[in-house]
Amino acid sequence: MDWKRELVIAHLVKQKIAEVDADGLWENTLPEVAASEEELLALEARLGYVLDSQHRAFLLHANGWRAFKNHVDVFGIDDFVGGQRAARAAELVESLEPLKELCGFDKSDLLPIAVSSDDIDVMLMTRPHTTTPGKVLWLAGGLVDTFSGFDEWFLAMVDYNRLNYQHLVEKHSR
């Protein structure tokens, strides 16, 4: 995936939302500055495994993105081990027990990659030891959707942002 292009498109969609978001529902934020290869290697050493290649490529272009979709924050390097976002994701995952019955995976099979700061949405990626490594699960009180990989998940979230834009345009044209 051409991350430079996709990040620009995602930001342009967010910018269009900001233009019609008269009520200030969502922040118009930019992605964080890219993580370095050294930072990724240090994270992988702490995690004990290599990150999924699609997810890794994203982090090399954007080290997370606060309020990427509504109030969903995409994790940056510092969010994976400790910190407020990791704690929030862990709390939401704990509330979904029995997780295995819900999505077919245990907590040890999943790595949080994004979490809502004000709702129950949490996005999790299957770890390398699973039968479907790199799969993304969207959970919000239950299983909302699954995506074959990080790229598909990211593009779907941009599409959801486009829908938000359309809803706001329709709302203000009434």
Q: What is the pLDDT of residues 142-168, one digit of tens each?
A: 999 999 999 999 999 999 999 999 999
- Structural tokens at position 66: 């606060």
Collapsing DSSP to helix, strand or coil, 104 comes out as coil
pLDDT-derived band at 99 (thresholds 50, 70, 90) equals confident
What does the alpha-carbon distance between residue 116 and residue 6 come to, in Å, rounded to a whole number? 22
The pairing of beta strand 65-69 with beta strand 72-74: antiparallel
The pTM of this model reads 0.95
What does the alpha-carbon distance between residue 75 and residue 29 come to, in Å, rounded to a whole number? 14
Q: Is the pLDDT confidence value at 174 over 80?
A: no
Q: Is the pLDDT confidence value at 140 over 80?
A: yes
Domains annotated for the chain, with CATH where assigned, are: 3-173 (3.40.1580.10)
Collapsing DSSP to helix, strand or coil, 143 comes out as strand
